[in-house]
Amino acid sequence: MMDDFLIRALAAGIGTALVAGPLGCFVIWRRMAYFGDTMAHAALLGVALSLLLQVNLTLAVFVVAGLSSLMLFGLERRRTLPIDALLGILAHSTLALGLVLVALMDWVRVDLLSYLFGDILAVGISDIAVIWGGGALVLILLAVIWRSLLAGTVSEELAEAEGLRPARARIGFMLAMALTIAIAMKVVGILLITSLLIIPAATARRFATTPEQMAVFAALTGVVAVIAGLGGSFAWDTPSGPSIVVAALIAFLLSLIVRREAASR
């Protein structure tokens, strides 16, 4: 019989992977890996504001990450600076602000490691409800904007000409990313969220023939990584969040070998 905390960890990890996989496909297609890092860094500012204002942690992280993404969208359209410069400024400034606020709150004891690297073994029933409920909202939103977002990924001008409103779809995608980061933070932590978005999607890309197929494969790869990572963490007493990412990395490396052997035949 599995312990209750392992069952809860599996439920939380699988719920996160099912959402992160399809979103990660667009991160790969649109070359937005640094954007994911920026939103993850902004999450620490959300943590600090949650502690300072005594509001719900997931809500605070979502609001800060969402506002950061909307600010980035507005600055990008004004073309004041190159997008990589804007991402760098936003990522490091929000991370620094979060750390400074945490340091100033000497009346609060904060375990930064649990926020940075996750603490999936400590999730409760309410956390699982937030992950699956928030994940369902993200997947519904992604299904609604899928066609517009996909067309905008290929060509913004063509999508505009077809009346698909790619700018609106991109805002929806950014908010979906913010919500995913908010609900996934407790699973793999702020510093590892982007890897759960990117690595399963990169693995799935080597086998999928359609965008929809890649989204499904990415979600399944993430689920396998969660199960394998938690199993390895339990067997070898390693940190759970990093173990999940290492399992995803191993799957990616195996995909390189499999594809290389298939191509050589």
Q: Is the dihedral of CA 143, 23, 64, 134 positive or negative?
A: positive
Per-residue pLDDT, 2? 65
Per-residue pLDDT, 263? 58
Look at residue 229 and tell me if it is in a domain.
Answer: no
Per-residue pLDDT, 60? 93
Contacts of 262 (CB under 8 A, 6+ apart): none
Per-residue pLDDT, 265? 61
Tokens of 77: 């359209």
Is residue 149 very low, low, confident or very high in pLDDT (cuts 50, 70, 90)? very high
Look at residue 235 and tell me if it is in a domain.
Answer: no
31: left (phi over 0), alpha (psi -120 to 50) or beta: left
Neighbours of 261 (CB within 10 A): 9
Look at residue 108 and tell me if it is in a domain.
Answer: yes
Is residue 63 very low, low, confident or very high in pLDDT (cuts 50, 70, 90)? very high
Look at residue 249 and tell me if it is in a domain.
Answer: no
Q: How far apart are alpha carbons 73 and 209 in whole angstroms?
A: 31
Residue 173 near residue 12, CB atoms below 8 Å = no
Distance from CA of residue 20 to its chain's centroid?
5
**Domain count across the chain:** 1
Look at residue 261 and tell me if it is in a domain.
Answer: no
Domain that includes residue 14, residue range: 4-190
Residue 216 CB-density burial (10 A; 0-12 exposed, 13-18 middle, 19+ buried): middle
Look at residue 126 and tell me if it is in a domain.
Answer: yes
pLDDT, tens digit, 9 for 90 and up, residues 90-121: 888 998 999 899 888 887 777 778 888 888 88
Residue 115 CB-density burial (10 A; 0-12 exposed, 13-18 middle, 19+ buried): buried
Q: How far apart are alpha carbons 190 and 142 in whole angstroms?
A: 22
Look at residue 88 and tell me if it is in a domain.
Answer: yes
Could you tell me the pTM of the whole model? 0.91
**CA distances in angstroms from 76 to 51, 82, 132, 222, listed in the order given:** 31, 8, 32, 31
Whichever domain contains 80, its CATH number is 1.10.3470.10
Residues in the chain: 265
Does residue 262 carry a pLDDT above 70? no
Q: How far apart are alpha carbons 226 and 8 in whole angstroms?
A: 12
Look at residue 233 and tell me if it is in a domain.
Answer: no
Per-residue pLDDT, 96? 92
